[in-house]
């Protein structure tokens, strides 16, 4: 069984490399603007995941020093982050919204890939 912090590091590592590769391929095929949009989508996904991890850890810590209002505000802020950033990308460069969404999905697929690796490792036992 892998610890949650090790799992998170692996997901970020896999997602980072997939977004970097996808950004290069997208920039070469569709142009630099689309490549930057792809990269921004991946970064948005990474920030979203980091905020989610922080909010969940704060909620599970059940510490008196962290108020429930602050935890709720962090969660709502995370939910607002995605549509606001996608709106900004749509406003400034509409065709890049597809590339940004693809970057978001590619980074998030790091969960799936790491889950498959972990399942394959545990299946060997």
Taking only the tens place, the pLDDT of each residue in 69-108 is 877 887 888 888 878 777 777 777 666 778 878 888 888 8
pLDDT 10s digits, 18-52? 999 999 999 999 988 888 888 988 888 888 888 88
Distance CA 8, CA 118 (A): 13
The DSSP code for 80 is H
Two tokens at 51?
């905020």
Q: Give CB contacts under 8 A, 24+ apart, made by 115-121.
A: 117/10, 118/2, 118/7
């Amino acid at each position: 069984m892998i610890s949650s912090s090790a799992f998170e590091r692996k997901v970020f590592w896999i997602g980072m490399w997939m977004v970097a590769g996808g950004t290069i391929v997208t920039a070469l095929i569709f142009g630099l603007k689309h490549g930057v949009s792809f990269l921004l989508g991946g970064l948005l996904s990474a920030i979203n995941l980091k905020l989610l991890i922080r909010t969940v850890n704060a909620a599970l810590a059940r510490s008196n020093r962290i108020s429930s209002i602050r935890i709720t505000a962090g969660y709502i802020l995370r939910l607002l982050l995605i549509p606001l950033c996608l709106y900004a990308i749509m406003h400034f460069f509409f065709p890049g919204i597809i590339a940004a969404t693809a970057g978001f999905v590619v980074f998030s697929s790091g969960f799936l890939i790491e889950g498959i690796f972990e399942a394959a490792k545990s299946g060997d036992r």
